[in-house]
Structure 1
Amino acid sequence: MALDGRTAVVTGAARGIGYAYCRRLAADGANVVAVDVDDPTGAVEKLTGGGDRLGLVCDVGEPSQVDAVAGTVLDRYGRCDILVNNAGIFPFADLDHLTIDLWRKVQAVNVEAILLFARAFAPGMRAAGWGRIVNTGSGITTTQNRDLAYMTSKGTVHALTRALANELGESGITVNAIAPGLVATEGFLGRARTNGPTAEEVFARVTAMQTIKRKSVPEDLAGALAFLVSDDAGFVTGQILHVDGGVTRTGA
């Protein structure tokens, strides 16, 4: 799975799943560009591996900032070989309290940023005849969760993944999504402390539904990513890979 000479861009990269992705990509030899709304420089400096490192601040919900990041990457590396769209927000609001501004913000960050980055980097991938795009979906799309904006956005991510796979496959570009279940990240733990049940109570409920009876950690997702961006996965595209300990037993 050596990625020497490949350039990977990871959004939502300063912590949690995104940072686990960066650690694995760096360890496998890739140049890693970590993108986050919070300055990822400190996190990037801790990465080990033989490739180059770059941290960029970007609100992926703002098209002008996405364009600026893409321009910086292309100026420095010539192209992006591996695009990992991991940035996401998950504010909870039910139908009675969901504002149109919040709805649009969730879609802009969770969905539209994927389209913008793909549009920016696909030409270089096409020219090289090789590319990997991996999006972060969610197992939430198969549950009875009532988080309207987030659940809708992740269902759209799954559909967009398949649509991009249809369009880009003939160019040697694969497009897949990793759909995590509940993962022990700073973002979830912070949210759980302010919204009803404790983190441990939520994990206990979810773990009971899994066939693998332990908490999911970011490294569980990083192993799946390493496969999907490798040459070994060259015939895998348009797939939603549920990495959730067995909660999801049918494709969705």
Structure 2
Amino acid sequence: MASAYISKGFQKDGRFHGKVALCTASTAGIGLAVAERLAQEGAKVVLSSRRKEKVEAAVEKLRAKKLEVSGMVCHQAKKEDRQRLIDFVTEQEWDKLFKVNVKSTFLMIRETVPHMNKEGGGAIAINSTIAALYPDAFGMFVQPYAVSKTVLTGLTKVLAPVLAKDNIRINCLAPGPINTQFLEGVYKTFYPDATSPPPAVVDMSFMRRAADPAECGAVVAFLLSDDASFITGEVIPVSGGSVLSVASAL
């Protein structure tokens, strides 16, 4: 029997962009059609069936259509197979977040530093989140994302003394609610009918609004400029007072 399970995620382009769809009995017929449609609308689809050759053929078929799919063997009647399938999906999401948010950031820094050395130094600004500073208050909305972004605040502080020897500064931005597609995806998960950030979001800050992305751009420009020549290893909140708002409530 074909079934499909969709994770919560951040809608962006397609209705299921940023979500993971777990489709069982999905290598042919209705199950395969469901999997294909979900993938077409942006989901990362995991196909499953009892026979390995059918799973491989279905994955190959959908990947040929430039769809983001993976697959594994799962006999739904077997508890251990069901658990392995769930663990596979969870681990995939975890790995993807750390690959994009942590590993790629570190590798980019490592590959850029030699070029900065040739120029006598430089400055780096990386992007975390306010949820990294107060995960108990904000992390509930983006739990795995918040964990991966919290690593970046540690990376900033660990690399600061190392890079300072080469006259390279590194700082980290911790944005609060910013008017982006990401924020829209977050609040629409909880408030699907909202057309702008709801009070539950904007009331997190003293400013009672979400910021324009340009306001983050201005802070980054300052951190990269010579005006910030004595600032390194810092995590800078751009949150309209969200940090103070949380602290005053404690």
TM-score (normalizing by structure 2):
0.57
Residue aligning to 1:119? 110
* One-letter identity of the residue aligned with 1:115: F
Cα distance, 1:96 vs structure 2 = 8.7
Separation in 1 of the partners of 2:156 and 2:128? Answer: 9
Q: In the alignment, is the contact (CA less than 8 A) between 2:187 and 2:198 conserved in 1?
A: no
Cα distance, 1:184 vs structure 2 = 1.0
Residue aligning to 1:208? 203
Q: In the alignment, is the contact (CA less than 8 A) between 1:203 and 1:215 conserved in 2?
A: no
* One-letter identity of the residue aligned with 1:197: Y
Cα distance, 1:230 vs structure 2 = 0.3
TM-score (normalizing by structure 1):
0.56
Query: Is 1:155 matched with 2:119?
Result: no
* Superposition RMSD in Å: 2.3
Cα distance, 1:119 vs structure 2 = 0.9
Instruction: Write the mapping of 1:1-252 to structure 2, written as runs, cut at 5 A.
Output: 99-141=90-132, 142-144=134-136, 145-146=139-140, 147-193=142-188, 195-198=189-192, 199=194, 202-249=197-244
Which of structures 1 and 2 has the bigger CA Rg? 2
Q: In the alignment, is the contact (CA less than 8 A) between 1:212 and 1:245 conserved in 2?
A: yes
Aligned residue pairs, count: 155
* One-letter identity of the residue aligned with 1:248: V
Cα distance, 1:202 vs structure 2 = 4.9
Q: In the alignment, is the contact (CA less than 8 A) between 2:129 and 2:175 conserved in 1?
A: yes
Separation in 2 of the partners of 1:209 and 1:243? Answer: 12
Amino-acid identity (%): 30
Cα distance, 1:206 vs structure 2 = 2.7
> CA-to-partner distance for each residue in 1:55-109, whole Å, 9 max, x for gaps?
xxxxxxxxxxxxxxxxxxxxxxxxxxxxxxxxxxxxxxxx999611110110000
Runs of 5+ consecutive residues of structure 2 not aligned to the other structure: 1-85
* One-letter identity of the residue aligned with 1:112: K
Runs of 4+ in structure 1 deviating by more than 3 angstroms, as ranges, are 95-98, 190-193, 198-203
